[in-house]
Amino acid sequence: MSAHGNTYVPKSGIAKWFESRLPLVGLVHSSFVAFPVPRNLNYFWTFGAILIAFLGIQIITGVWLAMHYQPSATEAFDSVEHIMRDVNYGWLLRYAHANGASMFFVAVYVHIFRNLYYGSYKAPREVLYILGVVIYLLMMATAFLGYTLPWGQMSFWGATVITNILAAIPVVGDTIQSLLWGGYSVGNPTVNRFFSLHFLLPWMIAGVVVLHVWALHVTGQNNPAGIPIKSSKDAVPFTPYATVKDVFATVVFMILFAWFIFYQPNYLGHADNYIPANPAVTPAHIVPEWYFLPFYAILRAVPSKLGGVILMFSAVIILALAPWLDTSRVRSSNYRPIYRQFFWVFVGVCFLLGWLGAKPPEGGYVIAAQICTAYYFAHFLIVMPLCGLFETPTKLPGSILESVTGPGKQVSGAGMPAGAAAAPTTKG
Amino acid sequence: MANTTAAAPAGAAPQEGTRRDFLFLATGAGLAVGAGAVAWPFVSSMAPDAATIAAGAPIEVDLSPISDGQIINVFWRGKLIFVRKLTGKEITDMKAVPLADLADKATFDSRVKSGHDQWLVVYGNCTHLGCVPIGHQGNYEGWACPCHGSQFDAVGRVRRGPAPINLPIPPYAFQSDTKLRIGEEGGKAAA
């Protein structure tokens, strides 16, 4: 699978001179031009590119917002309103950044569920997958820190609730809390350091993304059939096939993004965050951003503070164990009739947890959240190990090509060209 | 290298404690101590700074304008503190609560200063996740938290979860019957 060598041949004198000193163009060529891509990839495989686009959008809009933002408890709220009212296109930068975070999470959830459905986490892609979980954790931390910066009521109370969650950690909890606060409570030093960390973490995400893409290019991509590339006919070159498909999907996704920015810029936010932070009054109904709701429901499902905190973190950490909890060697759920049904129940439970996370923690909502939390963990700890042992998978196609054309048929298409000379890009 | 004594001659029997072993251990130990020494100021700088600590000096509260049953909010070290003047009924009711009914057992006397039964001074953040409970709500003449439904009684004892413990009592002392000093107890400054 990693059999793609460096097929780049520099033509001009300058290109040869540079390539012999730093083979950068060759690296890009082998990774993003000649790289063999399974020919049966569907549109769910374009979300990696969409995620990279959003990382870029968040970093660029964020750096521009930082030119106008004041990270202090007395000025933060006013400086955000200053961005909205006085700065040229400040409203656009801020709405793009705020809704960009939500779109980032939409894309990452599609990416994660795609991974779970098609078994992309299984050998040999465990490291690639765990790096993805690390990116997801960093995204959550970054999103939380960013949400505190406007210093409205939800910002302040979100920061208070989350730092109090960390204080539940035995022994070191209070020290961690004090180091995060920089004081005796959430206040000016807190917003200042949260701004610094919010600026730092995206670059760490970018670093792990490089490792994630590197690991992807070592193992190659999984695909809807879940079987490896066996011959050049199973693959097509990354450029133009995957490049154009990725760009097309990204553009379509941007329509959704633009709709939110221009028509519903505050739909995913909370009105309470337009009230300046007030440490004496908690908003009547305090909920996190939508992308944290399932975890918030898990936190509140347990009547014990430490227990809820442990379960909430476990809900993310358990994702990283999936490669070893799943005992089936068949990757794609397309060929797993029993597991496929459990998978969709799991998706339903995740949505239900999200809905419950937005409800007040009382009566039937708590009981429903407890049942859903139990099922969430059961999916990983019971369904994944047992399904693999007892399920009979349906017959896998002989090759990726066969999964596209049907068994026994020949294909006239080129598939993977033998050398760089055959790369379609050179023909314009 | 001119210095040939560092490398043991090839083929010689393994010798304990060469100069190279010493350098390896000394370098490793130096790196470990150095890394710790460099990390310390970075971590320490995140702790509350001198200005924040100075701004956390004790505060004085004038009790004379507070009427029976009233709760006022004061801030010390950025933390919300409730000062509540208990009514006669509340004092009677709270003294009558059996300890067996309490999750975090505390007598009435342990919640107030002796001789000042009327005055309750507690931190104003729920012990669950830090929201501000709303006064004169819930079923126990005390506070109800809007976030996750915890309830506290008139002397700040938790009566309904998920809050694990009672509202903590900050260090404070009475200067006189109408003057309170929060942040210091018996002439000793709070840590």
* Chain B neighbors of A300, CB-CB under 8 A: 148, 162
pLDDT for A6 equals: 63
Beta-carbon separation of A160 and B73 below 8 A = no
Q: How confident is the model at residue A102 (pLDDT cuts 50, 70, 90)?
A: very high
What are the two backbone dihedrals, phi and then psi, of residue B187, each rounded to the nearest 5 degrees? 75, 0
Question: String of b and e for A216-232 (b: at least 16 CB within 10 Å)?
Answer: bbebbbbbbbbbbbeee
List the 64-123 stretch of A: residues with Cβ below 8 A of B.
none
The answer to whether A140 and A292 are in contact (CB under 8 A) is yes
Kindly state whether A283 is in contact with chain B, defined as any CB-CB distance less than 8 angstroms: yes
The answer to whether A396 and A336 are in contact (CB under 8 A) is no
Beta-carbon separation of B80 and A285 below 8 A = no
- Is residue A69 predicted with pLDDT exceeding 70? yes
CA A424 to CA A236: how far, in whole Å?
10
Beta-carbon separation of A279 and B47 below 8 A = no
Q: In which residue are the tokens 């079923």 written?
A: B139
Beta-carbon separation of B48 and A181 below 8 A = yes
pLDDT, tens digit, 9 for 90 and up, residues B98-148? 888 888 888 988 999 888 889 999 999 998 888 899 999 888 989 998 887
Domains in chain A: boundaries:
34-221+237-283, 287-397
Mean pLDDT (whole number) for A128-145? 97
CA B8 to CA A413: how far, in whole Å?
65
- Is residue A413 predicted with pLDDT exceeding 80? no
Beta-carbon separation of A161 and B78 below 8 A = no
When scoring A155, A185, A188, A362 by the number of chain B Cβ atoms within 10 A, the one with the most, hence best to mutate, is A185
Q: How confident is the model at residue A421 (pLDDT cuts 50, 70, 90)?
A: very low
DSSP letters for A48-70: HHHHHHHHHHHHHHHHHHHTT--
What is the CATH architecture of A34-221+237-283? Up-down Bundle (1.20)
What pTM value is reported for the model? 0.88
What are the two backbone dihedrals, phi and then psi, of residue A367, each rounded to the nearest 5 degrees? -65, -45
Kindly state whether A369 is in contact with chain B, defined as any CB-CB distance less than 8 angstroms: no
CA A253 to CA A271: how far, in whole Å?
26
* Cα within 13 Å of Cα(A344), Cβ side: 7
Question: String of b and e for A47-85 (b: at least 16 CB within 10 Å)?
Answer: bbbbbbbbbebbbebbebbeeebbbbbeebbebbeebee
Alpha carbon distances (Å) from B61 to B115, B121, B136, B191: 18, 11, 22, 20
* Among A157, A164, A183, beta carbon nearest to B52: A183
* Chain A neighbors of B165, CB-CB under 8 A: none
End-to-end Cα spacing for chain B: 59
* Chain B neighbors of A157, CB-CB under 8 A: 130-131
Q: How confident is the model at residue A414 (pLDDT cuts 50, 70, 90)?
A: low
Alpha helices in A319-417 (DSSP H): 322-325, 337-357, 364-378, 384-390, 400-405
The answer to whether B121 and B169 are in contact (CB under 8 A) is yes
Query: Is residue A212 a known part of a binding site?
Result: yes
DSSP letters for A217-283: HHH----TT-----SGGGEEEIIIIIHHHHHHHHHHHHHHHHHHHHH-TTTTS-GGGGSB--TT---
* Among A183, A187, A362, beta carbon nearest to B149: A362
Query: Is residue A68 a known part of a binding site?
Result: no
Sign of CA pseudo-dihedral A410, A413, A415, A418? positive
The answer to whether A305 and B164 are in contact (CB under 8 A) is yes
CA A222 to CA B186: how far, in whole Å?
69
pLDDT, tens digit, 9 for 90 and up, residues A324-333? 999 999 999 9
CA B72 to CA B66: how far, in whole Å?
8
Query: Is residue A379 a known part of a binding site?
Result: no
Closest approach of A355 to chain B, Cα-based (Å): 16
* Among A157, A185, A362, beta carbon nearest to B131: A157
- Is residue A113 predicted with pLDDT exceeding 80? yes
CA A23 to CA A7: how far, in whole Å?
12
- Is residue B3 predicted with pLDDT exceeding 80? no
- Is residue A271 predicted with pLDDT exceeding 70? yes
Q: What is the DSSP letter of A47?
A: H
CA B22 to CA B100: how far, in whole Å?
65
Q: Which residues of B are catalytic?
A: 148
pLDDT for B186 equals: 65
Question: Which residues fall within 8 angstroms of residue A22, CB to CB, at 6 or more apart?
Answer: none
Q: How confident is the model at residue A410 (pLDDT cuts 50, 70, 90)?
A: low
Q: What is the DSSP letter of A312?
A: H
Q: What is the mean pLDDT of chain A?
A: 91
- Is residue A2 predicted with pLDDT exceeding 90? no
Beta-carbon separation of B77 and A185 below 8 A = yes
Q: What is the ipTM of this complex?
A: 0.77
Between A and B, how many CB-CB pairs are < 8 A?
A: 85
Q: Which of the four CATH numbers 1.10.1740.10, 1.10.287.980, 1.10.3720.10, 3.20.20.140 does domain A287-397 have?
A: 1.10.287.980
- Is residue A194 predicted with pLDDT exceeding 80? yes
Neighbours of B176 (CB within 10 A): 9
Mean pLDDT (whole number) for A65-89? 96
CA A402 to CA A395: how far, in whole Å?
12
pLDDT, tens digit, 9 for 90 and up, residues B19-48? 999 999 999 999 999 999 999 999 999 999
Neighbours of A6 (CB within 10 A): 15
Beta-carbon separation of B46 and A182 below 8 A = yes
Beta-carbon separation of B162 and A305 below 8 A = yes
What are the two backbone dihedrals, phi and then psi, of residue B61, each rounded to the nearest 5 degrees? -125, 125
Q: How confident is the model at residue B150 (pLDDT cuts 50, 70, 90)?
A: confident
pLDDT for A306 equals: 83
SS3 helix, strand, coil % of chain B, rounded to 5?
A: 25, 25, 50
Nearest to A26 by CA among A8, A44, A45, A46: A8
pLDDT, tens digit, 9 for 90 and up, residues B53-88? 888 889 999 999 999 999 999 999 989 999 999 998
* Chain B neighbors of A187, CB-CB under 8 A: 52, 78
A134 three-class SS: helix
